[in-house]
Amino acid sequence: MTTEVSHQEQTLDVEKRPLPKNSINFEQLRQGLREIFSQDSVNVEEVRELMLAYRSDPKEWKKFAKFDRCKYTRNLVDTGNEKYNLIVLCWGEGHGSAIHDHADAHCFMKMLQGTLSEVRFEWPTNPVQGSEIKDEDIKEMREIGRSSLYVNQVCYINDSMGLHRVENTSHTERAVSLHLYCPPFNSCSVFNARTGQRSKCPVTFWTKFGEKNNLLEISPKLEDN
Amino acid sequence: MEWSSSGSDDSGSEGVLDASQMGNAEAVAGNLERLVLSASGDKQESPKTMSRFRRLHTLNLSCNALTEVPAVLQQCAKLEKLSLRSNRLTELPKWMACLKNLRQLNLSGNGLKQFPLPILELTNLKYLYMGGNVLESLPSAIDKLENLQILYLGGNQLVEVPHTLGNMLTLTALVLCDNKLRALPQCIAQLENLRSLLLHKNQLRTLPQEIVGLRGLRELSLRDNPLVVRFVRDMAQQVPTLRELAARVVSSNRLPYSTLPLTLKKYLDTAHHCVNPMCQGVFFDSRVEHVKFVDFCGKYRVPLLHYLCSQRCANGPDADLPPEAGQRLLRKVLLG
C-alpha cells in the first residue's frame, strides 16, 4: 500500500511562525504521525503543522541522540509500520553531509537542538555517473539558495525542488535534528559540487530504536564532501 | 541553572548541582564525580573552594563569561574531562599543566590567539577541542600529545600546520576546516589511523600526492577551497642556476664530493629524485610543479601535487606516477 503525499506549494520554505499555543510532546508527535500516515492520502501541510507543534525537550529524545566524534549519525526512531522513517540525526561540531537527493521521497526536517545550515542546489545538467569524467564534462553545480534552521523550525524538501547539503557550521555547538522520510529509502544519490558527478550511497543507521546497530555495514567507500 | 550538553562536553546526565546549595552540600561533595556549572550566557561565580570535590572527574564550566581559568581548579587533580567552552579566555595559566589526568579538554569558543603551551604537558589527552578561537599557528611541539585521537581546530586563523603534525599517529580525526591553509605538508600522509579529515573552507589549491596512502580515511571534506579542477598547464619552470646544473651532473653521475666546501656539500645532500620512474634525474631548487588528477573516493578527481625534474618529464608518456601496489589497492577499495 503506497501513501500519497500531496502539497500545495512547490517552494522550499522554512517555517518561521511561532509555536502553536497547544504544543505536544514527543510521544504525541510519534502517535500523531502514525495516525496521519495510516491513511491512504497524506497532506504535507498537516505533517508540517504536527511537527511544528512539538516543542523540543531533550529529555524526551535523548536516548536516540547518539553522537559519533568523526561524523554525523542517523538514529532510527520509528518506521510507522513501514510507511516512513523517523530518524534523529546527531551532528558534532563541523559535521556536514554530502549534497544528496531524496530518492523520490518526501523529507521533513525539524531542529531539536542547535542550528543547521542548508545549501540548496539545482540538479546537475551534465549526465555524469561514476568515477571517470572527462575535462569537458565537468560542470560546477549551481547553488540556488541557503538558509539556517533554528530550534523547533521545520523545513520540507523533495526531489522536484532540488538537492541540498546540510551541515553544522558551528565550531562550539552540536546539533540534533528530527527527519521524516516517506516512503522510507535505503539508498540515495550523492553529488560532487565541483564536477556534478553523481554516485549511489547507502543509508545506514548508527542506532535503531535506541540500540546500537551492530549489523552496521562498515562501508569501505570513502565519502568526499 | 540548567543542564547544558550542547557542546562536546560530556555524555552523562548526573551531577547537576545548584551553586547556591554548595555550602550545604559537604556530604554530597566528597563523592561527587561530575559537576555542571554551565550558565548558558549568564555570569556565574565559581565555587570558592573545590577542595571538597576530591573525586571530581568531570567538570563543565561552559558559557560563564570567564576571563581566566578559576584558580580553584588547581585542586582538582583527578579531573579527566574539563570544558571551558564558550568563555572569554585569552590564555591558560601555567598550572594547567598539572592536570595530568585530563583525557578531554574543550576550549572551543574562546579568544585564544596563541596555542597555550601548558596543554602540551597534558600527555594523556585523547580529545582536544579548540574550534572557534583565533589561533594563528600551532607549536611544532604539538606532537608531545602522543595519545591524541581527536584534534578539532576548525574556525581559527591557521595559515599552515607544522610538519610535526605527521608524528601524531594516534589521530583518528583531524579538523582543520574554516582556516586559511594554503597547503598541507606531505607528512599528513603518515597519519595511518586517520578516519576523518575535514579541510573545507580553506585556501588549498592542491593536495600532497602522498595523501592517497591514507587507507583508513572514511570522511574527507574539500569543499570551498580554490581546488584546481581542470587540467592546468604546468607552471613555468624557473631557469636552473649554474650551481643547480653542476650539482645535477655531480649527483647523477655519483661523483664523490666529500672534499668540497661545506656549503656545497650541504647543497648536494638536498638532491631530490624525480618521481618519473623512467627518469633517473635529480633536482635541487629548480623543479616543475606537476598537478596530476587522481580518482579519489570513486567520485572525484583530486588534484595532487608532485615534483618533476623538468618539463620533459611532465609532458612525456612516462609522466604517470609509478603504480605502486599500495596505490592500486587503495584505488580498488575506494572505487568499490
Query: Could you tell me if residue B121 is inside a domain?
Result: yes
pLDDT computed for residue A133 by the predictor: 66
Cβ–Cβ contacts within 10 Å for residue B133, how many? 24
Task: Report pLDDT for A1.
Answer: 40
Among B161, B194, B221, the domain boundary falls at B221
DSSP letters for B216-268: T--EEE--SS----S--PPPPPPPPPHHHHHHHHHHHTT---TTS-HHHHHHH
Which residues on chain B are in Cβ contact (under 8 Å) with A58?
5
- Hey, are the CB atoms on B221 and A194 less than 8 Å from each other? no
The CB-side HSE value for B161 (13 A sphere, CA atoms) comes to: 27
Cell representation of residue B131: 574550534
B46 half-sphere exposure, CB direction, 13 A CA radius: 21
Whether residues B216 and B295 fall in one domain: no
B229 touching A (Cβ < 8 Å): yes
B189 and B282 in a common domain: no
Tell me what pLDDT residue A225 has. 65
Query: End of a domain among B169, B191, B221?
Result: B221
Q: Which of A140, A219, A224 would you mutate first to test chain B, the one with the most B CBs within 10 A?
A: A224
Same domain, B122 and B254: no
Query: Which pLDDT score, from 0 to 100, does residue A58 have?
Result: 96
Q: Supply the CATH number for residue B58's domain.
A: 3.80.10.10
Q: Say if residues A45 and A39 touch (Cβ distance below 8 Å).
A: no
Q: Is residue B334 part of a domain?
A: no
Please check whether residue B336 lies inside any domain of the structure. Answer: no
CB–CB of A70 and B195 under 8 A? yes
Long-range contacts formed by B37-43: CB under 8 A, 24+ apart: B37/B1, B37/B61, B37/B64, B38/B1, B38/B2, B38/B3, B38/B4, B38/B9, B38/B62, B38/B63, B38/B64, B38/B83, B39/B1, B39/B63, B39/B64, B39/B65, B40/B2, B40/B4
- For residues A86, A91, A97, A100, the Cα torsion angle rounded to the nearest 10 degrees is 20
Cβ of A96 within 8 Å of Cβ of B200? The answer is yes
Q: Mark yes or no for CB contact B154/A96 under 8 Å.
A: no
Q: Tell me which residue of A65, A117, A114 sits closest to A90, measured CA to CA.
A: A65
Nearest CA in chain A to B299: A131
CA-closest candidate to residue B57, choices B103, B98, B121, B93: B103
Whether chain A has a CB inside 8 Å of the CB on B198: the answer is yes
For A98, other C-beta atoms within 10 Å of its C-beta total 22
CA–CA gap between residue A63 and residue B269 (Å, rounded): 61
Find the farthest-apart pair of alpha carbons in chain A and give their distance in angstroms, rounded. 57
Query: For residues B156 and B108, what is the distance between their CA atoms, to the nearest angstrom?
Result: 10
B185 and B258 in a single domain? The answer is no
Q: Are residues B164 and B30 in the same domain?
A: yes
Are B6 and B57 contained in the same domain? yes
Residue B282 is assigned to a structural domain of this protein: yes
Q: What is the mean pLDDT of residues A111-135?
A: 83
Q: What is the DSSP string of B139-172?
A: -GGGGG-TT--EEE--SS--S---GGGGG-TT-S
Q: What is the mean pLDDT of chain A?
A: 85
CA distance A15 to A143: 21
Residue whose cell numbers read 540538479: A123
Do B161 and B242 fall into the same domain? Answer: no
Query: What's the gap between Cα B260 and its chain centre?
Result: 41
Q: Give me the pLDDT at residue A5, please.
A: 45
* B201 and B246 housed in the same domain: no
Are residues B256 and B189 part of one domain?
A: no
CA–CA min distance A103, chain B (Å): 19
Q: Is residue B70 part of a domain?
A: yes
Query: For position B10, what pLDDT does the model report?
Result: 44
Rounded distance between C-alpha atoms, residue B89 and residue A172, angstroms? 14
Q: Same domain for B216 and B234?
A: no
Q: pLDDT tens digits for A37-59?
A: 998 888 999 999 999 999 999 99
- Interchain CB contact of B32 with A (< 8 Å): no
pLDDT digits (tens, 9 = 90+) for A134-176: 777 778 889 999 999 999 999 999 998 899 999 999 999 999 9
Helices A26-37 and A44-53 cross at an angle (nearest 10°) of 170
B280 and B185 belong to one structural domain: no
Residue B49 lies in a domain: yes
pLDDT at B266: 85
| Rounded CA separation B82/B13 (Å) | 15
Same domain, B190 and B239: no
Look at residue B248 in the predicted model and tell me its pLDDT.
83
Find the angle CA(B13)-CA(B18)-CA(B23) to the nearest 5 degrees.
Answer: 130
**Residue of B219, B231, B299 with shortest CB distance to A131:** B299
Among A150, A218, A131, smallest CA distance to B335 is for A131
All 3 cell numbers of residue B334?
Answer: 575506494
pTM of the model: 0.77
Give the domain range for residue B121: 2-221
Residue of chain B whose Cα is closest to the Cα of A173 = B7
Three-class secondary structure assignment of chain A: CCCEEECCCCCCCECCCCCCCCCECHHHHHHHHHHHHCCCEEEHHHHHHHHHHECCCHHHHHHHCCCCCCCCEEEEEECCCCCCEEEEEEECCCCECCEECCCCCEEEEEEEECCEEEEEECCCCCCCECCCCCHHHCCCCCEEEEEEECCCCEEEECHHHCEEEEECCCCCCCEEEEEEEECCCCEEEEECCCCCCEEEEECCCCEECCEECCCCCCCCCCEEC
Identify the residue with better confidence: B280 or A203.
A203
**Angle, CA A217 vertex, CA A215 and CA A219 arms, to 5°:** 170
pLDDT of residue B76: 87
Which three-class secondary structure state does DSSP give residue B124?
Answer: coil
How confident is the model at residue B196, as a pLDDT?
92
B134 to chain A, any CB pair closer than 8 A? The answer is no
CA atoms of B302 and B223, how far apart (whole Å): 12
User: In total, how many domains does chain B have?
Assistant: 2
Grid coordinates of B74? 588547581
Residue B66 inside a domain? The answer is yes
pLDDT for the residue B50: 59
Last residue of a domain, one of B168, B203, B221: B221
CA dist A83 and B219 (Å) reads 31
* pLDDT one digit per residue (tens) for chain B, 336 residues: 223 345 565 433 344 444 444 444 444 555 566 777 765 444 445 555 656 667 788 999 999 999 999 988 888 889 999 999 999 999 999 999 999 999 999 999 999 999 999 999 999 999 999 999 999 999 999 999 999 999 999 999 999 999 999 999 999 999 999 999 999 998 999 999 999 999 999 999 888 888 888 888 888 888 888 876 554 444 445 567 888 888 888 888 888 888 888 888 888 887 777 766 666 667 766 666 666 665 555 445 566 666 666 666 666 543 344 444 334 333 322 221
Query: Could you tell me the pLDDT band of residue A7, with boundaries at 50, 70 and 90?
Result: very low
The answer to the question of residue B335 being in a domain is: no
- Alpha-carbon distance of B88 to B111, in angstroms, equals 6
Query: CB B130: neighbour CB atoms within 10 A?
Result: 25
